[in-house]
Structure 1
Protein backbone atom coordinates (compact mmCIF):
# COMPACT_ATOMS: atom_id res chain seq x y z
CA UNK A 1 0.00 0.00 0.00
CA UNK A 2 1.37 3.44 -0.97
CA UNK A 3 1.49 5.65 2.12
CA UNK A 4 3.21 8.67 0.65
CA UNK A 5 1.23 11.65 -0.56
CA UNK A 6 1.37 12.26 -4.29
CA UNK A 7 3.37 15.41 -5.05
CA UNK A 8 1.42 18.34 -6.45
CA UNK A 9 2.28 20.31 -9.56
CA UNK A 10 4.19 22.98 -7.64
CA UNK A 11 6.30 20.38 -5.90
CA UNK A 12 7.03 18.65 -9.20
CA UNK A 13 8.16 21.93 -10.76
CA UNK A 14 10.47 22.69 -7.83
CA UNK A 15 11.86 19.16 -7.98
CA UNK A 16 12.53 19.66 -11.69
CA UNK A 17 14.41 22.83 -10.82
CA UNK A 18 16.64 20.80 -8.52
CA UNK A 19 17.03 18.04 -11.08
CA UNK A 20 18.24 20.46 -13.75
CA UNK A 21 20.14 22.71 -11.36
CA UNK A 22 23.48 22.18 -13.09
CA UNK A 23 22.00 23.39 -16.37
CA UNK A 24 20.59 26.44 -14.59
CA UNK A 25 23.98 27.22 -13.05
CA UNK A 26 25.84 26.85 -16.36
CA UNK A 27 23.32 29.09 -18.12
CA UNK A 28 23.51 31.59 -15.27
CA UNK A 29 27.31 31.78 -15.47
CA UNK A 30 27.26 32.11 -19.25
CA UNK A 31 24.64 34.85 -19.35
CA UNK A 32 26.17 36.72 -16.41
CA UNK A 33 29.61 36.78 -18.02
CA UNK A 34 28.06 37.98 -21.28
CA UNK A 35 26.15 40.76 -19.52
CA UNK A 36 29.23 41.85 -17.57
CA UNK A 37 31.42 41.85 -20.68
CA UNK A 38 29.02 43.78 -22.89
CA UNK A 39 27.01 45.97 -20.54
CA UNK A 40 28.84 46.63 -17.27
CA UNK A 41 28.05 50.34 -17.35
CA UNK A 42 24.35 49.68 -17.87
CA UNK A 43 24.36 47.15 -15.02
CA UNK A 44 26.16 49.54 -12.67
CA UNK A 45 23.74 52.34 -13.48
CA UNK A 46 20.84 50.39 -11.94
CA UNK A 47 21.96 50.28 -8.28
CA UNK A 48 23.56 53.71 -8.60
CA UNK A 49 20.37 55.25 -9.95
CA UNK A 50 18.22 53.48 -7.38
CA UNK A 51 20.39 54.54 -4.44
CA UNK A 52 20.58 58.14 -5.63
CA UNK A 53 16.82 58.31 -6.16
CA UNK A 54 16.17 56.77 -2.74
CA UNK A 55 18.38 59.37 -1.08
CA UNK A 56 16.59 62.19 -2.87
CA UNK A 57 13.19 60.76 -1.94
CA UNK A 58 14.15 60.48 1.74
CA UNK A 59 15.55 64.02 1.67
CA UNK A 60 12.17 65.29 0.46
CA UNK A 61 10.32 63.23 3.07
CA UNK A 62 8.14 65.46 5.24
CA UNK A 63 5.39 63.25 6.63
CA UNK A 64 3.71 59.90 6.10
CA UNK A 65 0.97 61.41 3.96
CA UNK A 66 3.42 62.81 1.42
CA UNK A 67 5.37 59.55 1.37
CA UNK A 68 2.17 57.59 0.79
CA UNK A 69 1.04 59.86 -2.05
CA UNK A 70 4.40 59.61 -3.81
CA UNK A 71 4.69 55.81 -3.67
CA UNK A 72 1.36 54.38 -2.59
CA UNK A 73 1.37 51.49 -5.05
CA UNK A 74 4.79 50.33 -3.89
CA UNK A 75 3.77 50.62 -0.25
CA UNK A 76 0.80 48.37 -1.01
CA UNK A 77 3.04 45.86 -2.80
CA UNK A 78 5.58 45.88 0.04
CA UNK A 79 2.94 45.54 2.73
CA UNK A 80 1.30 42.71 0.81
CA UNK A 81 4.66 40.97 0.54
CA UNK A 82 5.26 41.09 4.30
CA UNK A 83 1.70 39.95 5.07
CA UNK A 84 2.09 37.03 2.66
CA UNK A 85 5.40 36.10 4.27
CA UNK A 86 3.67 35.85 7.64
CA UNK A 87 0.67 33.99 6.21
CA UNK A 88 2.63 31.37 4.27
CA UNK A 89 5.94 31.38 6.12
CA UNK A 90 4.80 31.92 9.69
CA UNK A 91 6.66 34.08 12.18
CA UNK A 92 10.06 32.89 10.99
CA UNK A 93 9.41 33.66 7.35
CA UNK A 94 7.60 36.91 8.11
CA UNK A 95 10.25 38.46 10.31
CA UNK A 96 13.04 37.12 8.12
CA UNK A 97 11.51 38.70 5.02
CA UNK A 98 10.84 41.97 6.85
CA UNK A 99 14.41 42.27 8.16
CA UNK A 100 15.87 41.36 4.77
CA UNK A 101 13.71 43.98 3.07
CA UNK A 102 14.83 46.61 5.58
CA UNK A 103 18.47 45.56 5.16
CA UNK A 104 18.27 45.89 1.38
CA UNK A 105 16.74 49.37 1.57
CA UNK A 106 19.33 50.40 4.16
CA UNK A 107 22.22 49.15 2.03
CA UNK A 108 20.82 50.94 -1.01
CA UNK A 109 20.58 54.17 0.97
CA UNK A 110 24.12 53.73 2.34
CA UNK A 111 25.47 53.37 -1.20
CA UNK A 112 24.35 56.93 -1.88
CA UNK A 113 24.90 56.79 -5.63
CA UNK A 114 28.69 56.55 -5.16
CA UNK A 115 30.17 54.78 -8.18
CA UNK A 116 33.47 54.09 -6.40
CA UNK A 117 31.67 52.32 -3.57
CA UNK A 118 29.55 50.09 -5.80
CA UNK A 119 32.20 47.47 -6.55
CA UNK A 120 33.37 47.58 -2.93
CA UNK A 121 29.83 47.03 -1.67
CA UNK A 122 29.27 44.02 -3.90
CA UNK A 123 32.75 42.59 -3.27
CA UNK A 124 32.27 42.82 0.50
CA UNK A 125 28.81 41.28 0.28
CA UNK A 126 29.98 38.42 -1.95
CA UNK A 127 33.14 37.86 0.13
CA UNK A 128 31.30 37.73 3.44
CA UNK A 129 28.63 35.50 1.88
CA UNK A 130 31.33 33.12 0.62
CA UNK A 131 32.95 32.91 4.06
CA UNK A 132 29.58 32.27 5.67
CA UNK A 133 28.63 29.51 3.27
CA UNK A 134 32.00 27.82 3.91
CA UNK A 135 32.17 28.23 7.67
CA UNK A 136 28.84 29.12 9.28
CA UNK A 137 26.22 26.55 10.24
CA UNK A 138 23.27 28.81 9.54
CA UNK A 139 20.52 28.47 6.97
CA UNK A 140 20.76 32.05 5.68
CA UNK A 141 24.51 31.59 5.21
CA UNK A 142 23.74 28.84 2.69
CA UNK A 143 21.61 31.21 0.61
CA UNK A 144 23.54 34.50 0.49
CA UNK A 145 26.40 33.49 -1.81
CA UNK A 146 24.15 31.68 -4.33
CA UNK A 147 21.95 34.77 -4.32
CA UNK A 148 24.96 37.02 -4.95
CA UNK A 149 25.83 34.98 -8.04
CA UNK A 150 22.31 34.85 -9.44
CA UNK A 151 21.80 38.54 -8.62
CA UNK A 152 24.29 39.38 -11.36
CA UNK A 153 22.05 37.59 -13.84
CA UNK A 154 18.98 39.51 -12.66
CA UNK A 155 20.83 42.82 -12.88
CA UNK A 156 22.15 42.05 -16.34
CA UNK A 157 18.75 40.94 -17.58
CA UNK A 158 16.97 44.06 -16.32
CA UNK A 159 19.67 46.29 -17.84
CA UNK A 160 19.21 44.53 -21.19
CA UNK A 161 15.43 44.12 -21.15
CA UNK A 162 13.63 46.71 -23.35
CA UNK A 163 11.64 48.42 -20.60
CA UNK A 164 8.69 50.60 -21.49
CA UNK A 165 6.89 50.51 -18.16
CA UNK A 166 9.05 52.71 -15.98
CA UNK A 167 12.63 53.48 -15.12
CA UNK A 168 15.07 50.58 -15.26
CA UNK A 169 16.69 51.39 -11.91
CA UNK A 170 13.30 51.41 -10.21
CA UNK A 171 12.41 48.07 -11.78
CA UNK A 172 15.72 46.63 -10.63
CA UNK A 173 15.30 47.94 -7.08
CA UNK A 174 11.77 46.58 -6.71
CA UNK A 175 12.59 43.13 -8.07
CA UNK A 176 15.85 42.92 -6.11
CA UNK A 177 14.07 43.79 -2.87
CA UNK A 178 11.48 41.07 -3.46
CA UNK A 179 14.19 38.60 -4.44
CA UNK A 180 16.49 39.25 -1.48
CA UNK A 181 13.72 39.13 1.10
CA UNK A 182 12.28 36.02 -0.55
CA UNK A 183 15.64 34.22 -0.53
CA UNK A 184 16.24 35.01 3.15
CA UNK A 185 12.72 33.90 4.13
CA UNK A 186 13.08 30.73 2.05
CA UNK A 187 16.42 29.94 3.70
CA UNK A 188 14.97 30.36 7.19
CA UNK A 189 12.05 28.07 6.37
CA UNK A 190 14.39 25.48 4.89
CA UNK A 191 16.52 25.72 8.02
CA UNK A 192 13.47 24.96 10.14
CA UNK A 193 12.75 21.86 8.07
CA UNK A 194 16.38 20.77 8.30
CA UNK A 195 16.27 21.23 12.06
CA UNK A 196 13.45 18.69 12.10
CA UNK A 197 15.59 16.19 10.19
CA UNK A 198 14.13 16.66 6.71
CA UNK A 199 16.62 15.91 3.89
CA UNK A 200 18.04 18.99 2.20
CA UNK A 201 16.18 18.55 -1.09
CA UNK A 202 12.88 18.04 0.70
CA UNK A 203 13.51 21.01 2.98
CA UNK A 204 14.22 23.30 0.03
CA UNK A 205 11.15 22.11 -1.85
CA UNK A 206 8.91 22.66 1.19
CA UNK A 207 10.35 26.14 1.71
CA UNK A 208 10.01 26.94 -1.98
CA UNK A 209 6.34 25.94 -1.95
CA UNK A 210 5.68 28.35 0.91
CA UNK A 211 7.47 31.17 -0.92
CA UNK A 212 5.67 30.63 -4.22
CA UNK A 213 2.60 32.72 -3.46
CA UNK A 214 4.39 35.64 -1.72
CA UNK A 215 7.02 36.07 -4.43
CA UNK A 216 4.63 35.66 -7.37
CA UNK A 217 1.90 37.89 -5.95
CA UNK A 218 4.29 40.61 -4.71
CA UNK A 219 6.14 40.76 -8.04
CA UNK A 220 2.81 40.92 -9.87
CA UNK A 221 1.64 43.81 -7.68
CA UNK A 222 4.95 45.64 -8.05
CA UNK A 223 4.99 45.34 -11.83
CA UNK A 224 1.34 46.37 -11.97
CA UNK A 225 2.26 49.44 -9.93
CA UNK A 226 4.97 50.31 -12.43
CA UNK A 227 2.58 49.93 -15.34
CA UNK A 228 -0.16 52.02 -13.73
CA UNK A 229 1.89 54.63 -11.90
CA UNK A 230 4.99 55.05 -14.04
CA UNK A 231 3.78 54.65 -17.60
CA UNK A 232 2.58 57.67 -19.53
CA UNK A 233 0.11 55.52 -21.45
CA UNK A 234 -1.16 52.12 -20.32
CA UNK A 235 -1.69 49.98 -23.40
CA UNK A 236 -1.58 46.30 -24.28
CA UNK A 237 2.05 46.52 -25.37
CA UNK A 238 3.21 47.72 -21.96
CA UNK A 239 1.00 45.16 -20.23
CA UNK A 240 2.51 42.42 -22.40
CA UNK A 241 6.06 43.55 -21.60
CA UNK A 242 5.25 43.58 -17.89
CA UNK A 243 3.80 40.06 -18.17
CA UNK A 244 6.96 38.79 -19.89
CA UNK A 245 9.12 40.39 -17.22
CA UNK A 246 6.96 38.88 -14.46
CA UNK A 247 7.35 35.40 -15.94
CA UNK A 248 11.09 35.89 -16.43
CA UNK A 249 11.56 37.07 -12.85
CA UNK A 250 9.76 34.07 -11.38
CA UNK A 251 11.69 31.68 -13.63
CA UNK A 252 14.86 33.36 -12.40
CA UNK A 253 13.82 33.04 -8.75
CA UNK A 254 12.43 29.50 -8.74
CA UNK A 255 14.73 28.18 -11.45
CA UNK A 256 18.14 29.83 -11.44
CA UNK A 257 18.31 31.08 -7.84
CA UNK A 258 16.51 28.12 -6.29
CA UNK A 259 18.66 25.66 -8.22
CA UNK A 260 21.88 27.47 -7.31
CA UNK A 261 20.92 27.51 -3.63
CA UNK A 262 20.69 23.72 -3.64
CA UNK A 263 24.48 23.45 -4.15
CA UNK A 264 25.09 25.00 -0.72
CA UNK A 265 26.03 22.65 2.17
CA UNK A 266 22.52 22.40 3.63
CA UNK A 267 23.14 18.92 5.05
CA UNK A 268 25.62 20.48 7.46
CA UNK A 269 22.78 22.04 9.45
CA UNK A 270 20.43 19.08 9.24
CA UNK A 271 19.41 17.48 12.51
CA UNK A 272 20.57 13.92 13.06
CA UNK A 273 17.12 12.72 14.13
CA UNK A 274 13.94 13.35 12.20
CA UNK A 275 10.85 14.58 14.00
CA UNK A 276 7.47 13.26 12.93
CA UNK A 277 4.61 15.69 13.42
CA UNK A 278 1.32 14.52 14.88
CA UNK A 279 -0.64 15.38 11.75
CA UNK A 280 1.75 13.24 9.70
CA UNK A 281 1.14 10.33 12.06
CA UNK A 282 -2.61 10.76 11.75
CA UNK A 283 -2.39 10.78 7.95
CA UNK A 284 -0.40 7.56 7.93
CA UNK A 285 -2.67 5.82 10.42
CA UNK A 286 -5.79 6.81 8.47
CA UNK A 287 -4.28 5.48 5.24
CA UNK A 288 -3.46 2.18 6.90
CA UNK A 289 -7.10 1.81 7.90
Structure 2
Protein backbone atom coordinates (compact mmCIF):
# COMPACT_ATOMS: atom_id res chain seq x y z
CA UNK A 1 0.00 0.00 0.00
CA UNK A 2 1.30 3.41 -0.92
CA UNK A 3 1.47 5.50 2.24
CA UNK A 4 1.09 8.66 0.18
CA UNK A 5 -2.56 7.73 -0.46
CA UNK A 6 -3.52 7.99 3.20
CA UNK A 7 -3.65 11.79 3.43
CA UNK A 8 -5.85 11.85 0.32
CA UNK A 9 -8.30 9.42 1.89
CA UNK A 10 -8.37 11.38 5.13
CA UNK A 11 -8.94 14.61 3.22
CA UNK A 12 -11.77 13.04 1.24
CA UNK A 13 -13.46 11.83 4.42
CA UNK A 14 -13.19 15.27 6.00
CA UNK A 15 -14.58 16.91 2.87
CA UNK A 16 -17.51 14.49 2.93
CA UNK A 17 -18.08 15.38 6.57
CA UNK A 18 -18.31 19.04 5.58
CA UNK A 19 -20.59 18.27 2.66
CA UNK A 20 -23.06 16.37 4.83
CA UNK A 21 -22.61 18.51 7.92
CA UNK A 22 -26.29 19.46 8.11
CA UNK A 23 -27.25 15.79 8.24
CA UNK A 24 -24.72 15.17 11.00
CA UNK A 25 -26.09 18.07 13.04
CA UNK A 26 -29.66 16.81 12.66
CA UNK A 27 -28.58 13.31 13.68
CA UNK A 28 -26.72 14.81 16.63
CA UNK A 29 -29.88 16.52 17.84
CA UNK A 30 -32.02 13.40 17.37
CA UNK A 31 -29.54 11.07 19.07
CA UNK A 32 -28.93 13.51 21.92
CA UNK A 33 -32.66 13.69 22.62
CA UNK A 34 -32.91 9.90 22.47
CA UNK A 35 -29.99 9.28 24.82
CA UNK A 36 -30.90 12.00 27.29
CA UNK A 37 -34.54 10.94 27.30
CA UNK A 38 -33.50 7.62 28.84
CA UNK A 39 -30.39 8.70 30.74
CA UNK A 40 -30.72 12.44 31.36
CA UNK A 41 -29.31 11.90 34.85
CA UNK A 42 -25.93 11.41 33.17
CA UNK A 43 -25.65 15.19 32.78
CA UNK A 44 -25.38 15.37 36.57
CA UNK A 45 -24.12 12.00 37.76
CA UNK A 46 -21.15 11.72 35.40
CA UNK A 47 -19.61 15.17 36.11
CA UNK A 48 -20.46 14.80 39.80
CA UNK A 49 -18.81 11.38 40.04
CA UNK A 50 -15.73 12.61 38.20
CA UNK A 51 -15.51 15.70 40.42
CA UNK A 52 -15.76 13.72 43.64
CA UNK A 53 -13.25 11.12 42.47
CA UNK A 54 -10.72 13.74 41.38
CA UNK A 55 -11.02 15.55 44.70
CA UNK A 56 -10.54 12.32 46.65
CA UNK A 57 -7.60 11.31 44.48
CA UNK A 58 -5.82 14.61 45.10
CA UNK A 59 -6.59 14.45 48.82
CA UNK A 60 -5.27 10.91 49.19
CA UNK A 61 -2.15 11.44 47.10
CA UNK A 62 0.81 11.88 49.44
CA UNK A 63 3.04 13.31 46.77
CA UNK A 64 3.78 13.45 43.07
CA UNK A 65 5.25 9.95 43.09
CA UNK A 66 2.16 8.44 44.72
CA UNK A 67 -0.18 10.32 42.41
CA UNK A 68 1.74 9.17 39.35
CA UNK A 69 1.78 5.54 40.51
CA UNK A 70 -2.00 5.53 40.94
CA UNK A 71 -2.73 7.00 37.51
CA UNK A 72 0.36 6.29 35.44
CA UNK A 73 -1.46 4.72 32.48
CA UNK A 74 -3.78 7.68 32.07
CA UNK A 75 -0.84 10.00 32.65
CA UNK A 76 1.11 8.39 29.83
CA UNK A 77 -1.87 8.68 27.47
CA UNK A 78 -2.30 12.37 28.38
CA UNK A 79 1.39 13.07 27.78
CA UNK A 80 1.23 11.21 24.47
CA UNK A 81 -1.77 13.30 23.41
CA UNK A 82 0.05 16.56 24.13
CA UNK A 83 3.20 15.38 22.35
CA UNK A 84 1.11 14.47 19.30
CA UNK A 85 -0.49 17.91 19.35
CA UNK A 86 2.96 19.50 19.26
CA UNK A 87 4.22 17.10 16.59
CA UNK A 88 1.30 17.40 14.17
CA UNK A 89 -0.45 20.63 15.08
CA UNK A 90 2.50 22.81 15.99
CA UNK A 91 3.35 24.95 18.99
CA UNK A 92 -0.05 26.64 19.22
CA UNK A 93 -1.98 23.39 19.22
CA UNK A 94 0.34 21.82 21.77
CA UNK A 95 0.11 24.69 24.22
CA UNK A 96 -3.62 25.01 23.64
CA UNK A 97 -4.10 21.31 24.32
CA UNK A 98 -2.25 21.59 27.63
CA UNK A 99 -4.25 24.65 28.72
CA UNK A 100 -7.54 22.99 27.74
CA UNK A 101 -6.66 19.84 29.67
CA UNK A 102 -5.80 21.84 32.78
CA UNK A 103 -8.96 23.93 32.46
CA UNK A 104 -11.11 20.82 32.23
CA UNK A 105 -9.53 19.32 35.35
CA UNK A 106 -9.92 22.67 37.09
CA UNK A 107 -13.61 22.76 36.20
CA UNK A 108 -14.10 19.36 37.81
CA UNK A 109 -12.42 20.60 40.97
CA UNK A 110 -14.58 23.72 40.85
CA UNK A 111 -17.73 21.60 40.90
CA UNK A 112 -16.59 20.23 44.24
CA UNK A 113 -19.07 17.36 44.14
CA UNK A 114 -22.04 19.73 44.57
CA UNK A 115 -25.15 18.33 42.89
CA UNK A 116 -26.60 21.66 41.80
CA UNK A 117 -23.38 23.02 40.32
CA UNK A 118 -23.19 20.81 37.23
CA UNK A 119 -26.25 22.30 35.52
CA UNK A 120 -25.31 25.85 36.50
CA UNK A 121 -21.74 25.43 35.29
CA UNK A 122 -22.83 24.02 31.93
CA UNK A 123 -25.44 26.76 31.46
CA UNK A 124 -22.90 29.50 32.20
CA UNK A 125 -20.35 27.86 29.90
CA UNK A 126 -22.87 27.53 27.06
CA UNK A 127 -24.07 31.14 27.34
CA UNK A 128 -20.53 32.51 27.55
CA UNK A 129 -19.47 30.34 24.61
CA UNK A 130 -22.42 31.59 22.54
CA UNK A 131 -21.49 35.21 23.26
CA UNK A 132 -17.85 34.63 22.36
CA UNK A 133 -18.88 32.84 19.18
CA UNK A 134 -20.10 36.11 17.67
CA UNK A 135 -18.26 38.73 19.72
CA UNK A 136 -14.68 37.45 19.84
CA UNK A 137 -12.34 37.30 16.87
CA UNK A 138 -10.50 34.27 18.18
CA UNK A 139 -10.27 30.78 16.75
CA UNK A 140 -11.01 29.02 20.05
CA UNK A 141 -14.20 31.08 20.40
CA UNK A 142 -15.46 29.41 17.21
CA UNK A 143 -15.43 25.94 18.76
CA UNK A 144 -16.59 26.40 22.36
CA UNK A 145 -20.33 26.54 21.67
CA UNK A 146 -20.25 23.78 19.02
CA UNK A 147 -18.32 21.66 21.51
CA UNK A 148 -20.96 22.31 24.17
CA UNK A 149 -23.64 20.99 21.81
CA UNK A 150 -21.60 17.97 20.73
CA UNK A 151 -20.64 17.28 24.35
CA UNK A 152 -24.30 16.65 25.19
CA UNK A 153 -24.31 13.77 22.72
CA UNK A 154 -21.03 12.40 24.09
CA UNK A 155 -22.36 12.54 27.64
CA UNK A 156 -25.66 10.94 26.71
CA UNK A 157 -23.92 8.15 24.82
CA UNK A 158 -21.49 7.33 27.63
CA UNK A 159 -24.34 7.36 30.16
CA UNK A 160 -26.38 5.01 27.97
CA UNK A 161 -23.61 2.71 26.69
CA UNK A 162 -24.40 -0.78 28.03
CA UNK A 163 -21.18 -2.69 27.32
CA UNK A 164 -18.89 -0.91 29.77
CA UNK A 165 -18.87 -2.54 33.19
CA UNK A 166 -16.55 -0.12 34.95
CA UNK A 167 -17.01 3.40 36.25
CA UNK A 168 -18.85 5.36 33.55
CA UNK A 169 -17.87 8.67 35.13
CA UNK A 170 -14.20 7.86 34.52
CA UNK A 171 -14.84 7.03 30.87
CA UNK A 172 -16.81 10.25 30.54
CA UNK A 173 -14.08 12.33 32.19
CA UNK A 174 -11.32 10.87 30.02
CA UNK A 175 -13.21 11.23 26.73
CA UNK A 176 -14.51 14.70 27.62
CA UNK A 177 -11.02 15.90 28.56
CA UNK A 178 -9.54 14.43 25.38
CA UNK A 179 -12.37 15.90 23.31
CA UNK A 180 -12.06 19.38 24.77
CA UNK A 181 -8.27 19.41 24.36
CA UNK A 182 -8.53 18.12 20.79
CA UNK A 183 -11.17 20.69 19.85
CA UNK A 184 -9.03 23.55 21.18
CA UNK A 185 -5.93 22.21 19.41
CA UNK A 186 -7.97 21.91 16.20
CA UNK A 187 -9.23 25.48 16.53
CA UNK A 188 -5.73 26.88 16.89
CA UNK A 189 -4.51 24.88 13.89
CA UNK A 190 -7.45 26.09 11.79
CA UNK A 191 -6.93 29.66 12.97
CA UNK A 192 -3.33 29.54 11.79
CA UNK A 193 -4.44 28.39 8.34
CA UNK A 194 -7.08 31.12 8.15
CA UNK A 195 -4.54 33.71 9.25
CA UNK A 196 -2.46 32.72 6.24
CA UNK A 197 -5.41 33.36 3.93
CA UNK A 198 -6.75 29.85 3.42
CA UNK A 199 -10.51 29.57 2.76
CA UNK A 200 -12.70 28.30 5.58
CA UNK A 201 -13.30 24.81 4.21
CA UNK A 202 -9.66 24.39 3.27
CA UNK A 203 -8.48 25.56 6.69
CA UNK A 204 -10.81 23.16 8.48
CA UNK A 205 -9.78 20.22 6.33
CA UNK A 206 -6.08 20.98 6.84
CA UNK A 207 -6.57 21.31 10.58
CA UNK A 208 -8.61 18.10 10.62
CA UNK A 209 -5.82 16.25 8.82
CA UNK A 210 -3.33 17.50 11.40
CA UNK A 211 -5.55 16.28 14.23
CA UNK A 212 -6.35 12.86 12.74
CA UNK A 213 -3.49 10.89 14.27
CA UNK A 214 -3.45 12.79 17.59
CA UNK A 215 -7.18 12.20 18.11
CA UNK A 216 -7.16 8.55 17.07
CA UNK A 217 -3.98 7.55 18.90
CA UNK A 218 -4.63 9.50 22.11
CA UNK A 219 -8.19 8.17 22.47
CA UNK A 220 -6.98 4.63 21.77
CA UNK A 221 -4.28 4.93 24.44
CA UNK A 222 -6.72 6.47 26.92
CA UNK A 223 -9.31 3.72 26.49
CA UNK A 224 -6.60 1.06 26.63
CA UNK A 225 -5.35 2.60 29.88
CA UNK A 226 -8.87 2.53 31.32
CA UNK A 227 -9.38 -1.06 30.21
CA UNK A 228 -6.25 -2.42 31.84
CA UNK A 229 -6.15 -0.08 34.83
CA UNK A 230 -9.69 -1.04 35.84
CA UNK A 231 -9.17 -4.73 35.14
CA UNK A 232 -11.72 -4.72 32.32
CA UNK A 233 -9.82 -7.31 30.29
CA UNK A 234 -12.64 -9.68 29.40
CA UNK A 235 -13.74 -10.15 25.81
CA UNK A 236 -16.94 -8.19 26.39
CA UNK A 237 -15.12 -5.29 28.02
CA UNK A 238 -12.45 -5.13 25.30
CA UNK A 239 -15.18 -5.17 22.65
CA UNK A 240 -16.94 -2.38 24.52
CA UNK A 241 -13.74 -0.32 24.60
CA UNK A 242 -13.27 -0.87 20.86
CA UNK A 243 -16.82 0.30 20.17
CA UNK A 244 -16.26 3.34 22.37
CA UNK A 245 -13.11 4.19 20.41
CA UNK A 246 -14.91 4.00 17.07
CA UNK A 247 -17.84 5.98 18.46
CA UNK A 248 -15.50 8.67 19.79
CA UNK A 249 -13.76 8.96 16.42
CA UNK A 250 -17.13 9.33 14.68
CA UNK A 251 -18.20 11.85 17.31
CA UNK A 252 -15.14 14.02 16.73
CA UNK A 253 -14.70 13.84 12.95
CA UNK A 254 -18.38 13.77 11.99
CA UNK A 255 -20.45 15.35 14.75
CA UNK A 256 -18.06 17.84 16.35
CA UNK A 257 -16.26 18.61 13.08
CA UNK A 258 -19.51 19.18 11.23
CA UNK A 259 -20.96 21.32 14.02
CA UNK A 260 -17.83 23.46 14.25
CA UNK A 261 -18.00 24.15 10.52
CA UNK A 262 -21.10 26.32 11.08
CA UNK A 263 -19.10 28.76 13.23
CA UNK A 264 -18.21 32.17 11.73
CA UNK A 265 -14.65 31.24 10.77
CA UNK A 266 -14.49 33.76 7.91
CA UNK A 267 -13.90 36.63 10.32
CA UNK A 268 -10.48 35.12 11.06
CA UNK A 269 -9.35 34.89 7.46
CA UNK A 270 -6.60 37.20 6.32
CA UNK A 271 -7.34 39.54 3.45
CA UNK A 272 -4.63 38.11 1.22
CA UNK A 273 -3.12 34.68 1.21
CA UNK A 274 0.49 34.35 2.27
CA UNK A 275 2.73 32.20 0.16
CA UNK A 276 5.90 30.88 1.68
CA UNK A 277 8.74 30.27 -0.77
CA UNK A 278 11.40 27.76 0.15
CA UNK A 279 14.79 27.89 -1.44
CA UNK A 280 15.84 24.69 -3.10
CA UNK A 281 19.20 23.32 -2.18
CA UNK A 282 21.67 23.26 -4.99
CA UNK A 283 23.38 20.00 -5.56
Deviation at 1:165, TM superposition (A): 5.0
Q: TM-score, normalised by structure 2?
A: 0.94
For 2:88 and 2:182, locate their aligned partners in 1 and report how far apart those are by CA, in whole Å. Answer: 12
What is the RMSD computed on CA atoms of the aligned residues? 1.6
Deviation at 1:42, TM superposition (A): 2.9
Asked if the contact 1:174–1:222 (Cα under 8 Å) also holds between the matched residues in 2, the reply is: yes
Partner of 1:134: 134
Q: Deviations over 1:163-192 (max 9, x none)?
A: 435210000000000000000010011000
Asked if the contact 1:111–1:118 (Cα under 8 Å) also holds between the matched residues in 2, the reply is: yes
Asked if the contact 2:43–2:118 (Cα under 8 Å) also holds between the matched residues in 1, the reply is: no
Q: Deviations over 1:96-149 (max 9, x none)?
A: 000000000000111111111111100000000000001111110000000000
Partner of 1:264: 263
Partner of 1:119: 119
Superposition map of 1:25-174 within 5 A: 25-164=25-164, 166-174=166-174
For 2:6 and 2:171, locate their aligned partners in 1 and report how far apart those are by CA, in whole Å. Answer: 38
SS at match of 2:116: helix
Deviation at 1:90, TM superposition (A): 1.1
Q: Deviations over 1:255-285 (max 9, x none)?
A: 0000000000000111110011225x98xxx
Asked if the contact 2:42–2:155 (Cα under 8 Å) also holds between the matched residues in 1, the reply is: no
For 2:31 and 2:277, locate their aligned partners in 1 and report how far apart those are by CA, in whole Å. Answer: 46
The question of 1:22 aligning with 2:14 is answered: no
Distance 1:225 1:7, change over 3 A: closer
Distance 1:6 1:117, change over 3 A: closer
Distance 1:6 1:184, change over 3 A: closer
Aligned residues: 276
For 2:70 and 2:268, locate their aligned partners in 1 and report how far apart those are by CA, in whole Å. Answer: 44
Which segments of 5 or more consecutive residues in structure 1 lack a partner in the other structure? 283-289
Q: TM-score, normalised by structure 1?
A: 0.92
Partner of 1:285: none
